[in-house]
Structures are given as structure tokens and as C-alpha cells.
Structure 1
Amino acid sequence: MRCIDLFAGAGGLSEGFKRAGFEVLAHVEMDPFAALTLKTREAYYYLKENNMLDIYRSYLLGNITRDNLYASIPENVLQKIICECISDETIESIFNYIDNLLVQSDENEVDVLIGGPPCQAYSTAGRGRLPDKMKKDERNYLYLQYIKFLERYQPKMFVFENVVGIFSAQGGKVLVDMKEKIDGAGYKIDVQVINASNVGVLQNRKRVIIRGVRKDITINTSDICFSDDQEQFRLRELWSDLPKLQAGESINGEVYTSLPNACCQLLNLRDTHCDILTWHTARPHNEQDLKIYKLCVETWNKEHKKLKYNELPDELKSHKNHETYLDRFNVLDYDGVAHTLVAHIAKDGHYYIHPDIDQNRSISVREAARIQSFPDNYFFEGSRTAAFTQIGNAVPPKLAEFIGNDILEKLERR
């Protein structure tokens, strides 16, 4: 089964669909760093399939450059990544590029289209902060570009992922128009809100999943069913094998503190063939933030209560508007799952404070990636800020794999 991934980001959706057994014909992503991440992941899969993972290991350990890595990969593998913004001006050239990829691979059919346009314009938080700007945001209409791909390639099924705020975007008009145009393109759909924690991701992350089936195909698109006996781990178990860090530190390499536990095994976080820790990097913090973090963790540990901004000592308050910043700081629950991880973590770590008071910092890039269910050998290209952004915007691969398995089962049964 073949799929195309639109607005691919760092590749959370395509990673899950690959695990489910799909071949990704093309990834379309406008961000240069995310596009490089996609190339590096394609390199990983090629080297793994050809028993050449020693090259990838050398890259993760810093012994070879990215150019050296890519030089060992056939050009047709790296050509799957199209670093381009999808717009009226570029869409025909993207179509032509994908058509050439289909010809080169002797394929003439796309089975599934997957993707999730940038969600900031639909986010209720974004609309609250910048209501007028969000109304005029061009990202409101990227679903129209998605539908053009449906019309062009006529896949058997599609998956469209987005935030729950899409229900109320522009007073509900966005979703109504989307449904009408998808129907006009020849697809019937079902819309479901799914929490990633229901499939084992250690995060309360609710997302809208729209699945569509071409009208000439008989497939039951009833709601996805979840297992009642899903084992739920805790953040304490998710991070138990990671070395301790202080603010500003970075520890990477073959440095795990223990063998993979049941949580790591279930989420496929560590690979026996390439068991190397990457991006276990914590951002530096100033003295004021470190004092606040310590107070927040102490309060959480003693009272299991979030310390609100207006409860801080006056000398630690730097904003005059105390009401707006009430929920500025948040400690993650060691004995539970994380709250929703968003791209704002790239700006600061205040909402994602590590619960271990001895480490006194916000979470590392790798800890964030594990919350999203990315394996440790998934390397994010670019700076620390770029890595955090890619992770916060991603679809958890574990959730994508669950959806991919459901779709594959439906298509194979047909």
C-alpha cells in the first residue's frame, strides 16, 4: 500500500504508517529543517533494510557528517522529500514532481493520502491571543490544497489530522465547507476525536481525525475501536533509563542508565541495532526561572498542586499582569502522563518543568520526543529550537501507527 504525506512536518504520520506496512511515495513539507529530518529518516530506513546501520550509527555518534550520510543513500530515496510550501503557485509543480516519482517507481496509483495542515489558525489558544490575525491567516484554507490532491490522485482512502479547534474555526464554517468540498471530490467521511493516550502515548493529546473513503469503494468507516486492556505507563517509566541532566547540559551516545524497560519496549523507543541516545539536551535557564521551577516542583510534590503565578514571591514576578500569566508554569506529573505538548516549547520550557527537583530544569528535547512516542534513533535536524518545534507540531507515531493499521486492515479486507 502506497501513501503520500502532505504537510509532513518531522514525519510522525508517515513514521506510523511505515510501521503499519505502508510505503511512503512522497513527503511534502515546507520547513527546511523538518525536510532534512525526513531525509535523515528515509536514510535510516534504507540503511536498515540493507543491513548497513553501522553508517547511521556513525552519523548519530558524530563520526561522519550529514553529507557523508546522504552520500551513501540512492538519490531516488532522498528525492521522496519535497521541500516546498503548498500553494496555488506551487501545486502544479508539486503534482508534476510526484507524477515523475510514480513513473520512476512503476506505480500509477496512490492508495492513501495522509496529512495535517498547520493547526495554528484553528487553535483556540491562537484565536484567543490574536483573533483578527487568525481570521485572516492563510493557513485557514490549506484544507483546500489538501482536497486538490484528493482530486488529482483519487486515493482509496485519506486521513486528515488536526486540532479540536477546527470544530469552532470561523464559527464552524471551516468544517462545514470542508465536508462539502470533500463530498464534491467524491469521498464519504467520518470525523472522530481521538486522545493519543488511548493507544499508549504518554500524553493527553486530543486530535480530530477525519478519515475518508472514495464513494465507489465499499468500506465501513465506523469509529476506530480501542482496546480496553491498553497498558498505561507513567512518565517515570518513560524516562527511567535516561541520564540525569542539569539545565544547559547535553548527554548523548551509548549512555543509557539501564536496559529498556517494558515501557520502552512497548513504544519501540530503543533499537537493539542502533541503541544510541540523541538530543538528550536541556535548555539553559536563568537564576530567576530556576528558583521558580524549584518552588513549582516543591509545591507539586507536597500538595500535588500547580503553583499559580500570583502565588509566587514578589521578587520572582516579572510581569505586571498577574491574571494573564496565572498558568505560566506547569510541572509534569511523574506518576501520570503529560499534558499536551505544543510547539511553544521551542520558545520556553515553563509549561514543561521536569518533576525531578534534583534536575531542576525544563524537559530535554529527547524527553519531549519520547512523550510524542518518537524512538531515540529518530534524529531531528537543525537547532534545539527547530527540534522542539518539529516535535511539538508532530503527530505521535504510535497514534499514526494505530490509525494506519486500522486503514490497512480495512483495505486488505476489501
Structure 2
Amino acid sequence: MSIEKDASAHETLRLRSFLRQFDGDIPVGYYDYINGKAPEPDWATLYPDEWEAAEEEAWQLELGKEEPALRLDARLDAIRVESGGDVILIGGPPCQAYSLAGRSRNLGKEGYVALEDNRHFLYQEYIRILDRLNPAAFVMENVKGMLSSSVDGESRIFDQVLRDLRGDREGGRRYRLIALDPRSRQQLDLGRFEPRASDFIVRAEDFGVPQARHRVIVVGLRADLAEDLPDRALADLMIRHNLRTTVGQVLAGMPHLRSGLSQEADSADAWRGIVQTAMAFVADLETDLDDERQAAFTARASEYHRRFVALNDLPGREGFGVGIADDCPDDLRSWLTDEQLETLPNHATRSHMGSDLARYFFAAVFAEVVGRSPKAADFPEELAPAHENWNSGKFADRFRVQLASGPSTTVTSHISKDGHYFIHPDPLQCRSLTVREAARLQTFPDNYLFKGNRTQQYTQVGNAVPPLLARWIGEALYAILTADRDEAADTHPQAVLSRTG
């Protein structure tokens, strides 16, 4: 079963659960729908058994709100009995109270008292489910800020979380905690394998994800299953995916798009005129770069302006076709793409103010010349927005372009607010990332449709764990659970890439 409180995210998960009922043989009607050839079918009427199974699996429920005895406990008990103990719990408590941004917002609230914020203690609902389900293993994920979060300025929440997960409490089932970071193998050289808090940080870019996303992930193995598995076997199973990928490898080749205009009548001609003027303006700007880089910036911006003027056909706000970069690694390509797709779902642009298009163009060209996204101080005065705090240092990354040559910055739910932190690296497109482009950076397969409006879709993508990373964790955990204890030290998990999970 899966539990999700947000209505649109629940619709997405229920649809995906429905598709899993077909064991990879997705109904043709689904492709007609996401290829834009037909409206969404009435799945419950066409496939009543599969839809009923999806509704039984995917629940809309806010943990800690509804009394568990009403529905949840009975379902957990049934799963525990049916599985005979062969079950895995995966999830994590809400992260708003632990994230650095959330903590900053909380400090700004008059009368805020951390001890009275129940979000700090929602992880205890995870512990309650752990005790009820008694799984063979669990995976708990959260933001990195959980490591340093405290409720009284002294006691770290994470220390208590680890104690509770280990079972260091009255009536607690004992679990062996495992850190998936390959660096944790170094602990054996120090004569211990008890992970430190920092060992639970997993860096997605180390595992084939084109995104620098660092999250706390704790794996627990029930003590009766872990007792005869040697320390060396546990450590050797924690290997890297050994695939480094970039933004350009997943975004290049996708259909080119133009942004919309948010404060005036939108049309291709209006957009062309604004962008053409913006490019000419930026190409003439003096920056604080040294003479050599200033010359390179001017030449690069002028060349893009020339190419833009020469365009005969402007892209639309929704592109037809699929496409991926030629240099995208084969296993990532096969994970993301689907030969039955004729177009990319959720690949439509948002609207931007005309003045921001000049800033987007400047940021993209600056990044190509300098090799990094510009800070607020790098923007010429002529491009500075009318914000009182623009030069205060609080908005240093207000406009941030994603570099094609490396992994992106962390895709967060803030992408639903505006696109300024997620500017497309191609200067000719002058826009922020679409939902599908953000989803590719998160390694969602192209056939994974996000329900809800565009803001809700962005939020779902930003809140997710990268599916490719999740798959690797599943493979590593499977290897641990099925390892021959006599030969475990020689066993290594291999990533099996499937886009139907």
C-alpha cells in the first residue's frame, strides 16, 4: 500500500498503481491519452478489477490526523499476516520542520515554539507503523537538515530518531542500521561499523542522477536477519552506481519551447520581439568581468542574438516529439525514454515577465562563459530587479541557471513558485524548466504522468526521491536480504533499470 495526503499526488500514485497491475504491459489507451490523441479513459469502467486493486493500494490519508484504528491498523495487520514477515516499509516523515528553509520561516513567526510544533515529532508515526508492521527491513528518507534540527537548541532530533529506529526504547523491535554511502566502508578500517549521523547522507549525483540532491536515508535490517551477516558483507554491498550524468545529457534533444508572456498578450510574434530586444540589450552591456571574459561574453551574446534573428520558425509553448541527447548513457536513456511515446507529457512552459527574459538570457550566456551561474552581484545594474533587498545578499541566487555540463542543483518544491532558480541552460529558449524537464533531472521515466495543475505537478516532482536512486536502493536492499551469508562479502547489487515500476 502507499499513503499520500495531497490530493493531486494521490491521483498520480493511484494511476501509477493501476498501470502496475498490468505487469509492464501498459494498456494502449494510456499511450493514446498521454500522446494527446484521446481524453483520459474511464479506467474504472474499462478495467474494474485493476482499478479496484489500485484504489486498495493507493490511499489518500494524512498520517497523524485520522485515528489509525479506523482503517490503517487493520490494513497493516493484514499485510503483516499475508506476508509472513517478508515486507519492507519505505517512507519518511514530513520535512518542513527539518529543512533549512522551513526552519528559517519558523524563526520568523512570532511566538513560534519548536517544542509545540508537532511536525518535529511526526516521525513517531513512522515508528508506530514500524512496530505494527514488524517488517524485515525499512528505508527512511528525509532532508539533510534533519541531522542538525533540534527542538530545544541542544538535543538533536536525529539522535532520537536513530535510537527509536534501532529499537532502543521500551518494547521496540531491534534493527541493524545501515548507511548506504560508499564512504561508510571506511569505518571498517577504524574497527567499527556503527554508522555516524553523517554516514546516512546519500548523494544522488553519485548514483547516475543528473542532480546534486543530498538526502538522509537510513536502512534498517531486522536484528534476526542481520545477526549472521558480517560487517564486511554489509560494507561491501554498499557500492556506487558509478555513473556520473549531466543536465545536458537529459535535456538536450528535447523539443525546444518558448516561454509565455505573463503581463501582456501572449503570442509568438510578441515573444519574438521582446526576446530579440532583450538579447540586443544584453549583448551591449558592460559586466564586471575581466577584459578577456567581457569580450567572450559580448561575442557569445551577439552570436545568440544573430542566430535568434535568423530563426524562421519559432518553437511553441508545447513541443511535439521526444528526444534526448546523443551522449546520454545508454542505461539512463533506456530508463527515461519510451518508444511508444510520440510526445512528452507535462512538457509545457510557464509564463514570464518580459523583463525577466533579459535576465534569463544574461544568466545563460554568463554561465557558458564563466562556468557558473551568476550571483546577484554579477548582474549589471541595468538588469537589477526592483527589489529593496536585491543587494542585501539575501537574494544572491535569485536567478540561477542550470549548467549543462554538470548535475543540476536540488530540484525542490519551490520550483512551483517561480522559475527563477531553474533557468534552462539554452540561451535561445529564454525560459525556466518545464515539469517534464524537472522530472528528467529527477529521473522520472518519460511515461510517468503527473496529475493536477502545473503548480501541483511541479510540487510533486520537487518533493520526490529520484526514482533511479530509489531503484538502486531497492537493489542494494534486495541483495542484503537474499545474500548467502557464507558468500555475502563477494556479492554486489547490480542496478536493474526498469521504467514500469
Shorter-chain TM range is 0.7 to 0.9
Structure 2 contact 255–319 (Cα < 8 Å) conserved: no
AA matched with 1:188: R
Alpha carbons of structure 1 residues 275 and 150: separation in structure 2 relative to 1, 3 Å: farther
Please give the secondary structure, in 2, of the residue aligned with 1:216.
helix
**CA distance in structure 2 between the partners assigned to 1:381 and 1:119 by the alignment:** 22
Which ranges in structure 1 are unaligned for 5 or more consecutive residues?
1-25
**Corresponding residue for residue 176 of structure 2:** 188
AA matched with 2:429: Q
Alpha carbons of structure 1 residues 412 and 189: separation in structure 2 relative to 1, 3 Å: same
Moved more, 149-158 or 296-305: 296-305
**Corresponding residue for residue 54 of structure 1:** 28
AA matched with 1:43: F
Alpha carbons of structure 1 residues 256 and 180: separation in structure 2 relative to 1, 3 Å: closer
Give 2:94's match in structure 1, choosing from 118, 132, 135: 118
**Corresponding residue for residue 270 of structure 1:** 337
Distance apart, 1:236 and its partner CA: 1.6
Report Cα offsets for 1:366-396 as digits up to 9, x if no partner: 1100000001000000011101100001000
**Corresponding residue for residue 247 of structure 2:** 235
Q: Which of structures 1 and 2 has the bigger CA Rg?
A: 2
**Corresponding residue for residue 214 of structure 1:** 222
Structure 1 contact 55–69 (Cα < 8 Å) conserved: no
Alpha carbons of structure 1 residues 47 and 134: separation in structure 2 relative to 1, 3 Å: farther
Structure 1 contact 194–207 (Cα < 8 Å) conserved: yes
**Corresponding residue for residue 151 of structure 1:** 131
- Which protein has greater RCO, CA pairs closer than 8 Å, 6+ apart? 1
Q: How many residue pairs were aligned?
A: 385
AA matched with 1:320: E
Moved more, 183-192 or 395-404: 183-192
**Corresponding residue for residue 4 of structure 1:** none
Normalized against structure 1, the TM-score is what?
Answer: 0.85
Give 2:346's match in structure 1, choosing from 246, 259, 279: 279
Distance apart, 1:294 and its partner CA: 1.3
AA matched with 1:54: V
**Corresponding residue for residue 313 of structure 1:** 381
Distance apart, 1:252 and its partner CA: 5.2
**Corresponding residue for residue 4 of structure 2:** 29
Distance apart, 1:283 and its partner CA: 1.1
AA matched with 2:215: R
Distance apart, 1:325 and its partner CA: 1.2
Give 1:385's match in structure 2, choosing from 448, 455, 460: 455
Q: 1:1-20 alignment to 2 at 5 Å?
A: none
Normalized against structure 2, the TM-score is what?
Answer: 0.71
Distance apart, 1:91 and its partner CA: 2.3
**CA distance in structure 2 between the partners assigned to 1:275 and 1:101 by the alignment:** 42
Report Cα offsets for 1:19-42 as digits up to 9, x if no partner: xxxxxxx00010011110001112
Q: 1:367-406 alignment to 2 at 5 Å?
A: 367-406=437-476
What RMSD in Å do the two structures reach over aligned CA positions? Answer: 2.5
Distance apart, 1:177 and its partner CA: 1.6
**CA distance in structure 1 between the partners assigned to 2:331 and 2:480 by the alignment:** 27
Structure 1 contact 247–283 (Cα < 8 Å) conserved: yes
Structure 1 contact 332–338 (Cα < 8 Å) conserved: yes
Report Cα offsets for 1:338-392 as digits up to 9, x if no partner: 0111110000111111110100001111110000000100000001110110000
Report Cα offsets for 1:86-122 as digits up to 9, x if no partner: 006432234245248649x954545210002222211
AA matched with 1:395: V
Q: 1:340-351 alignment to 2 at 5 Å?
A: 340-351=410-421
Distance apart, 1:129 and its partner CA: 3.4
Alignment of 1:40 onto 2:110: no
Alpha carbons of structure 1 residues 382 and 335: separation in structure 2 relative to 1, 3 Å: same
**Corresponding residue for residue 337 of structure 1:** 407
Structure 2 contact 251–325 (Cα < 8 Å) conserved: no
Quick one: percent identity of the two aligned structures?
31
Give 1:90's match in structure 2, choosing from 59, 64, 67: 67
Alpha carbons of structure 1 residues 110 and 134: separation in structure 2 relative to 1, 3 Å: farther
**Corresponding residue for residue 256 of structure 1:** 322
Which ranges in structure 2 are unaligned for 5 or more consecutive residues?
180-199, 261-315, 485-501
